[in-house]
């Protein structure tokens, strides 16, 4: 997929979808920058080669974001791919949600994507005339929250849905802005996927065309296309990887 020796920053790389993305990119010869608030030791043990950089900290902190990009440029000289994957998901409803819950999801899911996009593009991707930005959103950002469990219990909350809807809007805005500079921006919108965020929450997959939970590698496969040079004529797209639950 023409990814060998590219440099990719992946947020939320310690586990789940971010881990799968980092591993699959590494298998394609990509130098991976693993960003998380938790240790990425497990992910590192799974990489296809030893060219990686681990950056641990709070992705909502502008200084940490800039330091991460600076470390990436310092080691590799450039950055080709940014995957804004890290996220949180409150399941409280509108009545019980607190401002703290709201801020956590909005800042982790949307603010951090803005911060990393800005830091990678200006000046690095723009000066290089090349870049691939992939934002992990959710079908919740399209339909107002995926219902799960009995009587709708377990539905992702309003902050999560709003933040992922914001990620989709940001994706389209950035795509329009940066297309002339050879930079594409796309989003992958997972449906119910087996990660720590969904652990312990029952999902009824009987209404899906593909009647199972998604796996992190399903999402990573979609990211690989958007990260590659094969996607050079594809931008501002939201690819639903959801087992067909969003059909009509």
Tens-place pLDDT, residues 41-79: 999 999 999 999 999 999 999 999 999 999 999 999 999
Q: Catalytic site residue 160?
A: yes
CA distance 62 to 229: 29
| 112 closest CA partner among 73, 194, 170 | 170
Average pLDDT, the chain: 93
Per annotation, catalytic residue among 76, 160, 203, 233: 160
Mean pLDDT of 176-188: 98
**Residue 49 backbone phi and psi in degrees, to 5:** -150, 175
Mean pLDDT of 186-190: 97
Token readout for 142 is 């399209």
Residue 195 confidence (pLDDT) above 50: yes
Confidence of residue 191 (pLDDT cuts 50, 70, 90): confident
For residue 153, give the 3-state DSSP assignment. coil
Element (H, E) at 188: strand 183-190
Confidence of residue 207 (pLDDT cuts 50, 70, 90): confident
CA distance 182 to 26: 23
Domains of the chain: 7-241 (3.40.50.720)
Token readout for 100 is 């703290």
CA distance 180 to 229: 16
Position 152 scores a pLDDT of: 47
Give the torsion sign (CA, 186, 198, 107, 58): negative
CA distance 117 to 114: 5
């Amino acid at each position: 997929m023409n990814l060998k020796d590219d440099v990719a920053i992946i947020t939320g790389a310690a586990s789940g979808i971010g881990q799968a993305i980092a591993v699959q990119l590494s298998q394609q010869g990509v130098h991976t920058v693993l960003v998380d608030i938790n240790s990425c030791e497990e992910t590192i043990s799974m990489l296809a080669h030893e060219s990686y950089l681990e950056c641990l900290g709070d992705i909502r902190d502008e200084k940490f974001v800039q330091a991460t990009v600076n470390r990436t440029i310092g080691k590799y000289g450039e950055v080709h791919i940014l995957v804004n994957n890290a996220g949180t998901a409150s399941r409280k409803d509108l009545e019980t949600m607190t401002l703290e819950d709201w801020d956590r999801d909005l800042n982790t899911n949307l603010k951090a994507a803005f911060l990393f996009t800005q830091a990678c593009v200006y000046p690095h991707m723009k000066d290089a005339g090349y870049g691939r930005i992939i934002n992990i959103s959710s079908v919740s950002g399209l339909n107002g929250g995926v219902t799960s469990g009995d009587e709708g219990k377990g539905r992702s909350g309003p902050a999560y849905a709003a933040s992922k809807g914001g990620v989709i809007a940001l994706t389209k805005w950035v795509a329009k802005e940066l297309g002339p500079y050879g930079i594409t921006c796309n989003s992958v919108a997972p449906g119910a996927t087996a990660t720590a965020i969904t652990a312990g929450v029952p999902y009824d997959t009987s209404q899906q065309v593909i009647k199972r939970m998604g796996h992190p590698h399903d999402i990573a496969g979609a990211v690989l296309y958007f990260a590659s040079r094969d996607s050079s004529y594809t931008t501002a797209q939201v690819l639903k990887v959801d087992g067909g639950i969003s059909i009509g």
